[in-house]
Structure 1
Amino acid sequence: MTSYDLTTPLLGRDELITWDVVTRDTGQILATLHNVDAVHGTYYLLMHLWVNLFGDSVISMRLPSIFAASAAASVVSLIGNRLFGSRAGILAGIFFALVPAVSRYAQEARSYAFVTLVAALATLLLLLVLNRPRSAWRWAAYALTLIVLGLLHVIALSVVAAHVCLIAAHARRDRSLWWKSALALLAVAALLAPFLQLGRSQATIQLGWIPKPDGWALISIWWDVCASGACAGALLTLALLARSPRRTPLLLCAAWAVLPTMLVWLASQGDISYFRSVYLLFTVPAWALLAGAGLSAVCRSKRAAAALLAALAVLTLFDQRQVRQPFDHDGPIFQPPLDYRAAAEVIRKHHRPGDAAVYDREHAWKLDAGIQYYLPRDLTMRDVFLQSSPRQVNEFSAIDCPVPERCLKGEQRIWLLAHGADPDPLNAINQGQASALRHDYQQSWTQPVTGMTVTLLVRNDQR
């Protein structure tokens, strides 16, 4: 399910950031993380190793997320087997795999599938710890997994709230769990503290665009987390039917499903909002576990359970297709969508040695990276108005020439990649750059593609 139609969606802006960062050398990556996006630093370093080994094709960059999502489905099944029995565990794993958001982020070169996997793995390890609480090695493994989780995405540490509920339930019989768990969690907090502080210092830059959530956002987020209203409704309905002879399995899953969302919502009422559906993807396993337990409780027949699973698959078919649309990876955040692939193909067909390029960085963030990614690697063009590239300044954004006229080097042909579909593409770019180009160049021809315009400019003396 997760690997189907893997290459149809274009790389989104976040994925282009991944590509930009992981293709830098290790020293540049570490310097960049000191300035921005430290919370994704562990993922970038891992992907840096992966890309060095397997290349930076779309398939290669997205394949680790597919592996992580597939492994997460297996871990969900193992948790379900421990909590509700083997049948419920298998159903939970299938439910997890059917959630459209799981497919969506399994096909994205970002950390969220890994975060979901590690959150589920930490929960499984806690269950193993509580089965043998005297094992120091199990406590160490659990603490180490939480450290990895925090290094992958700080917000996912809110899953610990559900873990504390489970520990409290077991501590009624074994009071030593209080000090053992406190020791483990304090060690995690101490080791992550410098990283958390760095991430906090960058939060305004990274998250300043996310709106503060209101009460309705707390309700509607469930639909967004699943990337499907139908799927969210089905999971919620089946979750309400979940039954267990013990209270702790239901307590853990309910707390895992609800508490992190509540905590992130509350934390987002301050100066910085953290309330994005993708940040809460790690709660989907809890809903899948409850749904698996609910279906197992109401359907004793394998045929009936299979029929309901098939019905859910059909019910979410539209949403599964939707998350595989060419521009879905930018979703509603970046509008309009930009067809880098089509624009790069236009340039590839008509390119001549010595051609240069001008990118509209003022109105379309990462347009330059998108075009450069989809161009053949041996096709290079001088970025006319670029003063410092993102990797040169250890940032995500480039710095343009302050005096555009001084950056023109007499190129005979310049490709202008401008946001939108203005009949005069020079109107769409920085007006200082436009004035410099109008003085020496004229428009030869223009071809619109989705979200942008590809224009060939030629020097006046070549007309």
Structure 2
Amino acid sequence: MIRCRFSGLTAKYAEKAVCMVTLDRPVVVRRGAGPAPRPTRRASLWIGLAAGLVAYVGAGVPSYWGDEAASVLSAQRSWESLTAELSTVDAVHGLYYALLHVWIDLFGSSEWSTRAPSAIGIGFLAAGVVVLGRRWYDARTAILAGVLIPLIPRAGVLAVEARGYALAAAAAVWVTVLFVHTVDRGSGRVIWVLYGAAVAAGGTLFLYLLLMPMVHAAWLFTWRAFHGRVARRWIGSMLIAVVLAAPIILAASTQRGQVAFLAHRGYMSPRGWFVTPWFAHPAPAALLLPLLLIGVLVVVRRRRSIPGALPTLVWLLAPAAVLVVLDVFVSPTYNPRYLSISLGAVALLISSGAWALVDVAQRLGVRGGALAGASLIAISAVVLVPEFVHQRTQFAKDGGADGRAVAAEVAARSDPGDTILFGTGTRPSRAPRLIYRLYPEAFAGLEDPQLITPAEQTDGLWDRMDVVSDTAPTLDDGTVWLLETGSSGSAEDDIAALLRAGFTQVSRTDVHRTIVYEFQKGTS
């Protein structure tokens, strides 16, 4: 029996209606099933390549910051040491650290090298948005969304960062493409098993990718396919995903105390909900947030003619809602960076909003549409390009990370046999000790008396160190270089300890966020 549901669609969209062909088991068939049109495939390829290249511009300019230090230093450990670390901390980043370990073995540990996978991830994200947007919306919405990806501030930041979020954003799109393809083709059990495995792999790369099946369920409801064989196979694939992802879920649960600091970051605020996740700062938000809201209104109003309306809205809202609920009722969880998995939805909705404005202007005449388009491009260039450039300046990370400049300062002024000391009064992600670990060639030949146990010989992230006040009395005559993060924290106590030990302060150099002090004792 063949039963076609037109659901009140106009003739223009009737051909996209869902037809249920019932023999012994229901199958979903619709126009558009099968490979994407060749022009769309070409567009996704070229837009993805261009987005990745644009995203990589300036990738090596900013100094590393604390989160990147966790990535790079973890990836440089031996496999045995990395396994020990993940047993106690950062298990949710373990797959990314493993991938970066292989990458560093091949291409080195410079900023240009370690950030390249993220730029590649942004390229895949843009390409996937084009493919998915063509199936869920139309060609023009899909193409503009792909073009916008590297210019959305959050994507621009992630592209030049040695963390796994850009790859996670790309995985969110492509596992959705796989799911839509699986449903459209009426695929067999093997593909459904692969889909379940892909969901689990995504969750292992980034835990909250396990929320993407909520988006996929919305797609099934949109096409009224949540029954019969499709429903059974989707539920079966979810069971496979849960079983395969159980280890990372368990590890995340046992290590949740690691993110307790989120309770003190102020992320649970209007700015943390509406600006920081995707737009970084108020100026880009003033342009992109209205376009996003217009896009939401468009897809709600035209939900019967936009197949991806409900899934896109779920993609935008559900991950944020889940994180907020967990933060309020379970433990500190909400971090705007985690919503990078929704970047695909953000791009599609912004594109929809932009085209809606152009369409409204077009009704006023051809010149109106052209003027609206030109105005949007000009405003975007004025607002988004400076943000893109700022993200790629030397001290752009973490409010002024300056490790490379500090390392260069020490390398230029120190001599072999000098001593290097580090303040310990700041949080680990801003500890000046990280500069020594990330740029070791600048400190070659310097004595390092504070070290107790290197990180790679522990099951933690960081080196175990003595404090300056305990180390200073043991130092011989000579030159000591002291690195402090600002003049707060341990700086005053560390300086006082060196003075008590007979050293004289010779100079102070404020690099940016880090201060380099020079002390001497017993030298002419």
* Map of 1:252 onto structure 2: 311
Secondary structure of residue in 1 paired with 2:115: helix
Task: Point out the more displaced range, 78-87 or 164-173.
Answer: 164-173
Task: Point out the more displaced range, 10-19 or 285-294.
Answer: 285-294
* Map of 1:391 onto structure 2: 456
Task: Point out the more displaced range, 172-181 or 40-49.
Answer: 172-181
Q: Aligned to 1:241, which of 298, 301, 309?
A: 298
- Whether 1:420 and 2:420 are equivalent positions in the alignment is no
* Map of 1:269 onto structure 2: 328
Separation of aligned partners in 1, 2:462 and 2:108: 23
Contact 2:59 2:160 in 1 (8 A): yes
Task: Point out the more displaced range, 407-416 or 356-365.
Answer: 407-416
Secondary structure of residue in 1 paired with 2:196: helix
Q: Aligned to 1:121, which of 174, 189, 207?
A: 174
Aligned partner of 2:480: which letter? I
Separation of aligned partners in 1, 2:170 and 2:110: 23
Task: Point out the more displaced range, 226-235 or 79-88.
Answer: 226-235
Aligned partner of 2:203: which letter? G
Task: Point out the more displaced range, 311-320 or 271-280.
Answer: 311-320
Offset, 1:127: 0.7
* Map of 2:247 onto structure 1: 194
Offset, 1:306: 5.0
TM-score by length of 2: 0.79
* Map of 2:289 onto structure 1: 232
Offset, 1:387: 0.8
Distance 1:215 1:327, change over 3 A: closer
- Whether 1:367 and 2:420 are equivalent positions in the alignment is no
Contact 1:241 1:295 in 2 (8 A): no
Offset, 1:88: 1.8
Separation of aligned partners in 2, 1:173 and 1:220: 35
* Map of 1:327 onto structure 2: 395
* Map of 2:50 onto structure 1: none
Offset, 1:179: 1.5
Secondary structure of residue in 2 paired with 1:357: strand
Separation of aligned partners in 2, 1:377 and 1:189: 47
* Map of 1:358 onto structure 2: 421
* Map of 2:213 onto structure 1: 160
Secondary structure of residue in 1 paired with 2:508: strand
Separation of aligned partners in 2, 1:269 and 1:45: 32
TM-score by length of 1: 0.89
Separation of aligned partners in 2, 1:304 and 1:250: 28
Separation of aligned partners in 2, 1:436 and 1:296: 64
Contact 2:56 2:119 in 1 (8 A): yes
Q: Aligned to 2:349, which of 290, 293, 297?
A: 290
Separation of aligned partners in 1, 2:145 and 2:112: 28
Separation of aligned partners in 2, 1:212 and 1:428: 26
Contact 2:420 2:481 in 1 (8 A): yes
- Whether 1:109 and 2:165 are equivalent positions in the alignment is no
- Whether 1:217 and 2:276 are equivalent positions in the alignment is no
Separation of aligned partners in 1, 2:271 and 2:504: 54
Q: Provide the aligned C-alpha RMSD in A.
A: 2.8
Offset, 1:61: 0.8
Contact 2:207 2:248 in 1 (8 A): no
Contact 1:65 1:107 in 2 (8 A): yes
Distance 1:305 1:157, change over 3 A: farther
Q: State the Cα deviation string for residues 224-251 of structure 1 (Å, max 9, x = none).
A: 1122312223222234234465354101
Separation of aligned partners in 2, 1:112 and 1:303: 36
Q: Aligned to 1:451, which of 490, 501, 513?
A: 513
Distance 1:338 1:92, change over 3 A: closer
Secondary structure of residue in 2 paired with 1:383: coil
Q: Aligned to 1:72, which of 117, 125, 145?
A: 125
Distance 1:107 1:405, change over 3 A: closer
Task: Point out the more displaced range, 224-233 or 108-117.
Answer: 224-233
Task: Point out the more displaced range, 266-275 or 367-376.
Answer: 367-376
Distance 1:443 1:241, change over 3 A: same
Offset, 1:368: 0.9
Offset, 1:17: 1.3
Q: State the Cα deviation string for residues 274-297 of structure 1 (Å, max 9, x = none).
A: 211110011121121123334445
- Whether 1:462 and 2:519 are equivalent positions in the alignment is no
Distance 1:382 1:364, change over 3 A: farther
Contact 1:80 1:88 in 2 (8 A): yes
Offset, 1:348: 0.9
Paired residues, number: 452
Task: Point out the more displaced range, 373-382 or 272-281.
Answer: 373-382
Larger radius of gyration: 2
Distance 1:305 1:286, change over 3 A: farther
Secondary structure of residue in 1 paired with 2:161: coil
Secondary structure of residue in 2 paired with 1:236: helix
Offset, 1:59: 0.3
Task: Point out the more displaced range, 400-409 or 43-52.
Answer: 400-409
Separation of aligned partners in 2, 1:380 and 1:16: 22
Separation of aligned partners in 2, 1:219 and 1:213: 12
Separation of aligned partners in 2, 1:172 and 1:134: 14
Task: Point out the more displaced range, 22-31 or 38-47.
Answer: 22-31
Offset, 1:186: 1.0
Aligned partner of 2:99: which letter? L
Aligned partner of 1:69: which letter? I
Aligned partner of 1:344: which letter? A
Contact 1:81 1:89 in 2 (8 A): yes
